[in-house]
Amino acid sequence: MHFKPQRLLLTLLLALPLLASASTARATRIEDLCDVGGVRPNQLVGYGLVVGLNQTGDRGADRFTVQSTAAMLRRLGATVDLQTIQNIQMRNAAAVMVTASIPSAATPGVRVDITVASIGNAKSLLGGVLLQTPLYGADRRVYAVAQGAVLVGGFSASGGNGSSVQQNHPTSGRVPDGAIVERRVDAPVLGANGIFLQLREPSFVTAERIVQAIDTALGAGTAQAVDHALVKVTVPEAFRTRPVALVAQLSLLEVEADSTARVVVDERTGTVVLGAGVRISEAAVAHGNLTVEIVEQQAVSQPGALSGGTTTTVNQTQVNAESQAGAVAHVNNTASLQEVVAALNALGARPRDLVSILQALRSAGALRARIEAQ
């Protein structure tokens, strides 16, 4: 059995173009930086039944699944008494939660995708059909109705001796266009105080640049930065009755967005992402690796002749530890992300080691970036 440093994926996010300086960065449209106040999706949730499963549904006659099935049969006109409820077998059905998100101002008749997930002990939803399920908003009103065949991106199979195989996650799936909107959610774009633009990544610099771009296009004083996350736009007289045209024009305006220098570390996957603004000051780095190797072998213990003992096996364990000396490497000042990548590659560090090196550089004040762990 060997325990060695895990080889992880290193992903470097290179801003385009790499050789461009911050002053010549590519401009971004306002619609890619901001959301219009009041224009947002709305979450819906519902409880339903998936039927038609091949003996992979809820097992053990789950009480809530049986009750739901009995209530559904009653609504459809079937006579269901206590004896019938006790005899219901639910291996071909499963209780599920249904979720969806409807876009802003969606009109009745619009279709949206839904996600279906088992809440019982079903083994798989493969081949199942979701029965008509009302979807509720936070106000407990029905805004859509869902139904359709569930598409599952995985499977599971098991044998009689307990062996099993599973791919992906078979207890959740999707129904494309599975819900029909029944109630409109009003989302007025133009309010009494004008239009508000909400920055997806709050920044004082970006907010001020948005104000300058809008004032240049529509006239001085049209926009005002409320704070680093909100920009208020006063509606010009020419757009009083055409708020959609105003939002369309604002969306196409381009500004140079300010970005914080960040290093994002995903411990689960070993991914390291460097933002475009990351810079390294001159520093010296020495980093060594420790490798632990554990080898287990079984040996035969043979008793002596006429001793009356029995032949047995014993485990023999051997532990080896190897520490690799790390040479001191000199890192020069970097002026671009391309130079940062070249400097880190010159260290020959693996992703897991790279995380430690970046954290040490940050503590030493040589890394001009914020490290975020996920």
**In the chain, what are the domain boundaries?**
2-20+262-304+311-373, 27-39+188-255, 42-181
Residue predicted with more confidence, 162 or 27: 27
b (16+ CB within 10 A) / e for 180-207: ebeeebebebbeeebbbbbbeeebeebb
Q: Rounded distance, CA 56 to CA 121, Å?
A: 9
The mean pLDDT value for 257-267 works out to 79
Mean pLDDT, to the nearest integer, of 120-143?
Answer: 91
Whole-angstrom Cα distance, residue 360 to residue 348?
A: 16
From the centroid of its chain, how far is CA 165?
Answer: 26
Nearest to 18 by CA among 369, 274, 291, 201: 274
Residues 133 and 116: beta-carbon distance below 8 Å: no
Q: For residue 259, is pLDDT > 80? A: no
State residue 181's pLDDT score.
95
pLDDT of residue 281: 77
217 vs 361: which has the higher pLDDT: 217
CATH for 27-39+188-255, options being 3.30.160, 3.40.630, 1.10.760, 3.30.1360: 3.30.1360
Pairing of strands 262-266, 370-373: parallel
CA distances from 255 to 68, 118, 250, 261 (A): 54, 45, 11, 19
Alpha carbon separation from 182 to 40, 42, 106, 131 (Å, rounded):
18, 14, 9, 17
Enter the pTM of the model.
0.63
What pLDDT sits at residue 71? 77
Q: 178 pLDDT exceeds 60?
A: yes
Q: What angle do CA 295, 301, 303 make, to 5 degrees?
A: 170
What average pLDDT does this structure show over 224-248? 90
- What percent of the chain stands above pLDDT 90? 28
Phi, psi of 176 (to 5 degrees): -60, 130
